Amino acid sequence: MKKLVPVLALFLGACSSPSLQGIFAPPGDGAVDAAAADAAAAITDPEPVTLDPTPPPPPPPTARTVDQFDTTTAENRAEALAAPVEPAGERALGSTIASLGSPTDPGIWLKTPLVSEVTAGRVAYPVNGKSVNVELRPSGGAVGSGSQISLAAMRLLEAPLTGLPELLVFAN
């Protein structure tokens, strides 16, 4: 470790050298060109669109517990747990490994690369047989890159909040 510290200090000192700054910084006067800014803007998550006409409100800024972050109503949860209206009309999209999405993003949803537009769907957790109606949102990732699921949906599935459950995904 003692040998690493001088090497790291030398490297960091070299990074500040005017002759090497072009290697570690964009060329030019440091201004980001418009094309790069547009590309970066396209990478950010789009504003979520909800299929529910009355989505739950965002959690309060003082939220600290799971119950405080989950702002879904009893009506939202009952709708999510209801049997699909047209189960014969469902189509299986595949399976995905899901991590917990942002707890500040309210609602019952799954961001997944298995869809390219917001659509109604359902996810099933085969470990316990539970399933939940969700809003499927495109993640923009490559198929196989995994998904993010809302706190409310994860709770309704009774999946471990710190786990990476494998879910079956269906579109209505």
Same structural domain, 82 and 31 = no
- Tell me, yes or no, whether 53 lies in a domain: no
- Tell me, yes or no, whether 11 lies in a domain: yes
From the list 120, 121, 123, 119, the residue with the least C-alpha distance to 156 is: 123
Query: Among all chains, which residue has been given the structure tokens 């579109």?
Result: 171
Same structural domain, 76 and 37 = no
Same structural domain, 98 and 150 = yes
Give the DSSP letter of residue 94. Answer: E
Same structural domain, 38 and 72 = no
- Tell me, yes or no, whether 149 lies in a domain: yes
pLDDT level of residue 14 (50, 70, 90 thresholds): very low
Same structural domain, 118 and 161 = yes
* Residue-level pLDDT at 51: 53
Same structural domain, 72 and 39 = no
Tally the C-alpha atoms within 13 A of residue 9's C-alpha that lie toward its C-beta.
6
Quick check: 131 and 124 in contact, CB under 8 A?
Answer: yes
- What domain count does the chain have? 2
- Tell me, yes or no, whether 90 lies in a domain: yes
Same structural domain, 90 and 37 = no
d(CA 108, CA 117): 16
In the chain, the percentage of residues whose pLDDT exceeds 70 is 67
pLDDT level of residue 11 (50, 70, 90 thresholds): very low
Same structural domain, 107 and 23 = no
Q: Which of 27-31, 55-59, 87-91, 148-152 has maximum average pLDDT?
A: 148-152
- Tell me, yes or no, whether 55 lies in a domain: no
Q: Which of 34-38, 116-120, 142-146 has maximum average pLDDT?
A: 116-120
d(CA 23, CA 60): 44
Same structural domain, 90 and 160 = yes
Query: CA distances (Å), 25 to each of 9, 35, 82, 121, in order?
Result: 19, 17, 54, 44
From the list 106, 79, 94, 103, the residue with the least C-alpha distance to 143 is: 94
Same structural domain, 150 and 77 = yes
Bridge partners of 169? 94, 123
pTM for this one?
Answer: 0.65
Tokens of 103: 């707890």
Same structural domain, 37 and 89 = no
pLDDT level of residue 86 (50, 70, 90 thresholds): low
Task: State the chain's mean pLDDT as an integer.
Answer: 77
- Tell me, yes or no, whether 151 lies in a domain: yes
Residue 8 domain boundaries: 4-43
In the chain, the percentage of residues whose pLDDT exceeds 90 is 48
DSSP-based three-state secondary structure for 116:
coil
pLDDT level of residue 28 (50, 70, 90 thresholds): very low
d(CA 165, CA 167): 6
* Residue-level pLDDT at 87: 65
Same structural domain, 150 and 94 = yes
pLDDT level of residue 82 (50, 70, 90 thresholds): confident
